[in-house]
Structure 1
Amino acid sequence: MAMCLYQQNNGSENQTNSAKDHEVTAIPLLVCDDSNMARKQLIRALPANWPFRITQATNGLEGLEAIRAGAGQIVLLDLTMPELDGFGVLAALREQALTPEVIVVSGDVQEEAVRRAKALGARAFIKKPADPIQLAEALNSLGVEVPLAAVPDDDYGSQLPLPNVSFRDAFREVSNVAMGRAAELLGRVLGIFIKLPIPNVNILEVGELHMALADAQRGQRLSAICQGFIGGGVAGEALLIFHDSEIEDVARLLNAQEDESAQLEMLLDLASIIIGACLNGLSEQLNITLSQGHPLVLGQHCPIEDLIRINQRRWKRTLAVEISYGLENLEIHFDLLLLFTEDSVPRLRETLDFMIN
């Protein structure tokens, strides 16, 4: 669905022709992101006096179709999407000789992600959540002359095709941004590009959590690091799972010693990096301070049944965020579970409702 957002009109019938003389042609602008919350945030970041006709797409394939239909002279493009990701969209635009002006707006802020996006033709790169001034500057660099001081007004939202945002979608989006910040730090430590998934957010009973962990295990033995967090009415545990068959590969990447004590120290260091960056990213967006405990070895070289048996009383019913980081060109994955207590959900809903509305 598209909507014309800009038209000068003085409201007088006998001055219709004069108004037409001053009418500004609306520029087709496509917002391509799988998250309803991300699209809503981006649309709201556009000041009311910008001459855009907005179309939305929820994945890369929909985005390409909209561009072919003429709905994307300018494209605000996410990188991490189902069906076809942002890198795939940029490559397809080049292959099909389509020439929209693309601004990438992404939670994946790795230097290599920025380099690849621009090498594929993106004109600018903005990290999520998009700052309105940075977005205005990027649009001005495309020749769309709009005032940088302009900001959205209170009545703007009623004029726009804003998507409805559920709690799950909102929390998945803030987790996506936090996940991207952790990946940027991890990528610098390991010297490799981190492949990012779409976070999975669910309310899980302990039996369902058992199934999720069993799927992560994929028939292998695991080592797991746990780190508690609490603050602002929110509490929980972060669980980072390493597949034992991959630990030696990680040690070689870091030039770590291969004895068991050195590898355990390496896993604790990696857990501190990944969990700490992810929780800090959540804290910044939710405007709460999360105090983090020390990382602890929860299970080492153990089957998933033992991990569940030891901790089933603590986990019970939980809000779970599942993230699986992959290392490009290597069969190495880090499975991260953020487990929030059931009592944390009302506080999270309240905070996200404020962000959404």
Structure 2
Amino acid sequence: MSTRVLICDDSSIARRQLAKALPVDWDIQVDYAENGQEALDIIASRPIDVLFLDLNMPVKDGYQTLEALQHVPQAPHVFVVSGDVQPKAVQRVKELGASEFHKKPIRPEVMRQSLLALNLMVSDETAARHSIPSDFDLDNFSVSDCLQEVSNVAMGRAASVLADMLNVFIKLPVPSVHILEVSELQMALDYTNRGASFSAVSQGFVGAGVALEALLIFNDASFSDMAKLLGASGNLENTKEIELLMDVASVLVGPYMDALGKQMDIDFSYGHPSLLGQHVKMDSLISAKKAQWKRTLTVEIVYEVENYNICCDLLLLFTEDSVPVLEKRLSYLVED
């Protein structure tokens, strides 16, 4: 009898990559879900033996899905496959009943070894090759969809470094990818931040025809808790705040760009980080370089520290000329 497999991930790219990593000689029937709630609905409607589960998803994330599965009779074996590689994330999913945790993207040989170790797979040379998800059409390749997935992986690598440094858990979102005019970007960032003040660091990167600027925008209300976590004592003067901001920027931006570059086979060179603004409104930060940005491909990631009043935005602003190069580089990740 075929093993019934369900792949749950909000990214069509990730669903396709994971399906391609499944052993070709594994006799399986594969279904797909785009979020945890959809996966739970499928599991309630028919038996599923193995669930491959992402963590960062809309509607119902991986943690909520694992919690719900604890109340499901004959729940499937769960393999968490995620870009969030924080040690506390691994610990949490194991405590919630996951059989295995693997970082994205999982290699086929690792997948095979893990399935065999848990006796979830018996090799069958006559097994028919399972179908790759049909919801991703290479003819309609979206650079935004693929950039969101590689950003998700890079985001998790950076969060893990910060989590280790501060001994905390970083709450991660689904990265937001858009092509925006600078006025649209300004409105999007202003909408939820009216009245607040911010400080920001800017750093440029370039490599293989791709140019971008990384901005780490720090809510000023976060400085007090961040200082406590980093062991800074006494009053926070402007100079000390800048030092804290630069420390956090180096931890988040550096590992993020390293992971992003490795996935796209780009060796980025980078400029020195600079202070873009201190204790200013959001519109002042955006206006500071309005003439340079104009129209930009934008990736936004909001990092929050659990149980602390710490929140910062990481923005990647790619030049318009970079989009065709990105499209070519990212298309390699999804080709057969």
Q: Which band: TM-score by shorter chain? A: over 0.9
Which runs of structure 2 are paired with 1:148-227 in the superposition (5 Å)? 159-164=131-136, 166-215=142-191, 217-227=193-203
Number of corresponding residues: 327
> What's the CA shift for 1:137?
1.6
Say if 2:82 is the partner of 1:110: no
Q: Is the 8 A contact 1:37 1:163 kept in 2?
A: no
Alignment partner of 1:93 out of 41, 65, 69? 69
> What's the CA shift for 1:283?
0.4
Distance across 1 between alignment mates of 2:164 and 2:107: 25
Structure possessing the higher radius of gyration over alpha carbons:
1
Greater displacement, 287-296 / 63-72: 63-72
Distance across 2 between alignment mates of 1:344 and 1:234: 5
**Alpha-carbon displacement from aligned partner over 1:32-63 (angstroms, at most 9, x marks no partner):** 00000000000001132111100000000000
Alignment partner of 1:271 out of 239, 246, 249? 249
> What's the CA shift for 1:302?
1.1
Say if 2:60 is the partner of 1:84: yes
DSSP-derived class of the 1:112 partner: helix
Residues 42/160 of structure 1: CA separation in 2 closer, same or farther (3 Å cut): same
Say if 2:322 is the partner of 1:349: no
Distance across 1 between alignment mates of 2:192 and 2:155: 18
> What's the CA shift for 1:163?
2.7
- Map of 1:228 onto structure 2: 204
> What's the CA shift for 1:140?
1.2
AA aligned to 1:310 is A
**Alpha-carbon displacement from aligned partner over 1:171-223 (angstroms, at most 9, x marks no partner):** 10000000000000011111110000000000010111111221363420110
Which runs of structure 2 are paired with 1:136-155 in the superposition (5 Å)? 136-146=112-122
Q: Larger relative CO (CA 8 A, sep 6+): 1 or 2?
A: 2
Distance across 1 between alignment mates of 2:3 and 2:74: 17
Q: Is the 8 A contact 1:256 1:263 kept in 2?
A: no
TM-score (norm 2): 0.93
> What's the CA shift for 1:248?
1.5
**Alpha-carbon displacement from aligned partner over 1:281-300 (angstroms, at most 9, x marks no partner):** 10010011111211110011
AA aligned to 1:75 is L
AA aligned to 1:139 is L
Gaps in structure 1 of 5+ consecutive residues: 1-24
Distance across 2 between alignment mates of 1:335 and 1:290: 21
- Map of 2:217 onto structure 1: 241
- Map of 1:312 onto structure 2: 290
Identity of aligned residues (%): 47
Gaps in structure 2 of 5+ consecutive residues: none
Alignment partner of 1:128 out of 94, 99, 104? 104
Q: Is the 8 A contact 1:103 1:138 kept in 2?
A: no
TM-score (norm 1): 0.88
Which runs of structure 2 are paired with 1:290-305 in the superposition (5 Å)? 290-305=268-283
Distance across 2 between alignment mates of 1:273 and 1:352: 25
**Alpha-carbon displacement from aligned partner over 1:231-290 (angstroms, at most 9, x marks no partner):** 011001000001112112111111114232122111101101101111111001001111
**Alpha-carbon displacement from aligned partner over 1:113-140 (angstroms, at most 9, x marks no partner):** 0000011110110000111111112211
DSSP-derived class of the 2:88 partner: helix
Residues 146/131 of structure 1: CA separation in 2 closer, same or farther (3 Å cut): farther
> What's the CA shift for 1:71?
4.6
Q: Is the 8 A contact 2:48 2:75 kept in 1?
A: no
Distance across 2 between alignment mates of 1:122 and 1:190: 26
> What's the CA shift for 1:112?
0.3
Q: Is the 8 A contact 1:27 1:51 kept in 2?
A: yes
Q: Is the 8 A contact 1:38 1:173 kept in 2?
A: yes
> What's the CA shift for 1:98?
4.2
